[in-house]
Amino acid sequence: MSFETTAIHAGGRPDRAFGAISTPIYQSSTFAFENVEDLIEDLDKTLNHL
C-alpha cells in the first residue's frame, strides 16, 4: 500500500460482523411534521415531481 492509502486506513479495524474496513455512509434523513396532514401534503408534492 502507498503512504496515502495507509494514512487513510490507519487505526481502522475490520467490522467483526461484516468485515467492512471503512465506516459505511448511510444516506438517510429524518423529518418532523406538526401533523399528518402536513406529511401527506409534502409527500404529494414530492411524488408529483417524480
DSSP 8-state symbol, 35 = S
pLDDT in tens, the chain (50 residues): 688 888 777 777 787 888 887 777 778 888 899 999 999 999 998 888 76
d(CA 40, CA 50): 16
Record the pTM: 0.38
Q: Quote the pLDDT of residue 36.
A: 94
Q: Quote the pLDDT of residue 50.
A: 67
Q: Quote the pLDDT of residue 7.
A: 79
Dig out the grid coordinates for 15 from the structure.
Answer: 467490522
Q: Quote the pLDDT of residue 11.
A: 74
Q: What angle do CA 41, 42, 47 make, to 5 degrees?
A: 100
d(CA 14, CA 8): 14
Q: Quote the pLDDT of residue 41.
A: 92
d(CA 44, CA 50): 10
